[in-house]
């Protein structure tokens, strides 16, 4: 038993910093010592001195345009999207790829769900590709650069890059570089700039007459819910956790009230805001309620929110963006400071294909 614990402490230390004498410090002391004094290389490292989680902004912010003379013109077959099915930010982009009908024109690769060593020369843990197609169902080797990790893609794109190695990554095959790694901007590109080739070009998830409302809704959903669950889960002190949990449930209660009066979060129209809310809700009972301590109330205890989640899941193309095995493997297997032994809970195995009765608002 002692050797098992010692070996696991070594794994934790590799995830967060150089090896130490593990028998003279607890794993949490090791984590605190190294994550608070290094540049953040993953979300779990982004901590303030108060113990609160603070997400840093994305860094590659170029834009694909339908203008053929632009640096990055919208061309069929030129771009590739790297994602993790586990990551809600990447899943936003994946949802757009599917429901806009762009998946024939923008290729896709998913990484393995559980973080691994990204380089032999240091101890960073992050998104890695499988070596073979058969290694991890739903994940594939990098088909263009032969990269072993998402980190390698960042280093190909910028030799002096020192930030986080995140997904999504929108890759330009022609110039072998990252166009953009900010999901909010990628989904806006997918919404409009590829409409000359998109199979579902008529679908506008950011229509001009709703943009002000969408922006307002996005802001409180992001702060309270999308990022809120992370602020709960990654908090290292009780105060920041309590504050984040309070704000989370205030936002969920607000959604429940709104969705008791209308089918979608911005009214009668399915918009960008619904996708941004959905990617968190679909993970809530399976992961966030347990792993991130968001257990005051389950999604299934909110009648309107639960049926709304089923409604979005049943939109053609959306269910293919949800790989619950990858989602659960990642969260429970990649954060040893939260779940030291990587145990994955059995349930709850929710059926999101069951009737939702949300059509009543469209009648």
Active-site annotation, residues: 87, 230
**How crowded is the C-beta side of 109, counted as CA atoms within 13 Å?**
26
Q: Find tokens 């205030």 and name the residue.
A: 250
**Sheet containing 177-180: order of strands:** 107-110, 79-83, 169-172, 177-180
By three-state DSSP, how is residue 61 classified? strand
- What is the C-alpha radius of gyration for the chain, rounded to an integer number of angstroms? 21
Task: At 187, list the tokens.
Answer: 């989904």
Tell me phi and psi for residue 219, to 5 degrees.
-65, -50
Cα separation of 326 and 318, whole Å?
Answer: 16
Whether 77 and 64 have beta carbons less than 8 Å apart is answered as no
Furthest-apart CA atoms within the chain: distance in Å: 66
Identify the CA nearest to 108 among candidates 151, 142, 64: 142
Tell me phi and psi for residue 298, to 5 degrees.
-85, 160
What ranges make up the beta strands (E) of 127-276?
169-172, 177-180
Task: At 354, list the tokens.
Answer: 């069951």
Task: At 323, list the tokens.
Answer: 């790989």
Per-residue DSSP letter, 179: E
Cα separation of 40 and 45, whole Å?
Answer: 5
Cα separation of 275 and 190, whole Å?
Answer: 13
Cα separation of 363 and 245, whole Å?
Answer: 36
Cα separation of 291 and 232, whole Å?
Answer: 10
| CA 41-47-52 angle, 5° bins | 150
């Amino acid at each position: 038993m002692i050797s098992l614990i010692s070996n696991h402490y070594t794994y934790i230390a590799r995830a967060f910093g150089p090896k130490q004498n593990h028998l003279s410090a607890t794993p949490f002391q090791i984590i605190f010592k190294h994550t608070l004094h290094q540049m953040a290389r993953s979300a779990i490292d982004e901590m303030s001195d108060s113990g609160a989680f603070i997400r840093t902004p994305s860094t590659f912010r170029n834009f694909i345009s339908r203008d053929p003379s632009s640096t990055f013109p919208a061309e069929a077959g030129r771009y590739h999207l790297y994602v993790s099915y586990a990551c809600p930010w990447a899943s936003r982009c994946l949802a757009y790829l599917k429901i806009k009908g762009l998946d024939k024109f923008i290729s896709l690769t998913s990484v393995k769900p559980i973080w691994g060593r990204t380089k032999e020369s240091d101890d960073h843990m992050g998104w890695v590709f499988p070596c073979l197609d058969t290694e991890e169902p739903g994940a594939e080797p990098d088909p263009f650069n032969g990269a072993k990790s998402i980190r390698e893609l960042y280093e190909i794109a910028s030799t002096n890059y020192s930030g986080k190695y995140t997904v999504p990554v929108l890759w330009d095959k022609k110039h072998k570089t990252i166009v953009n790694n900010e999901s909010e901007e990628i989904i806006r590109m997918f919404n409009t700039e590829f409409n000359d080739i998109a199979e579902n070009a008529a679908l506008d998830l950011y229509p001009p007459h709703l943009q002000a409302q969408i922006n307002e809704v996005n802001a409180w959903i992001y702060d309270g819910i999308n990022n809120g669950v992370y602020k709960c889960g990654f908090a290292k002190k009780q105060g920041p956790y309590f504050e984040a949990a309070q704000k989370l449930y205030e936002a969920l209660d607000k959604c429940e009230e709104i969705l008791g009066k209308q089918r979608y979060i911005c009214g009668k129209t399915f918009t960008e805001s619904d996708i941004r809310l959905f990617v968190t809700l679909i993970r809530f009972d399976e992961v966030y309620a347990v792993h991130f301590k968001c257990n005051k109330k389950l999604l299934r205890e909110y009648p309107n929110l639960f049926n709304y989640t089923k409604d979005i899941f049943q939109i053609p193309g959306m269910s293919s963006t949800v790989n619950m095995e990858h989602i659960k493997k990642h969260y429970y297997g990649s954060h040893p400071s939260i779940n030291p032994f990587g145990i994955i809970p059995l349930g709850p195995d929710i059926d999101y294909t069951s009737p939702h009765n949300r059509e009543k608002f469209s009648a």
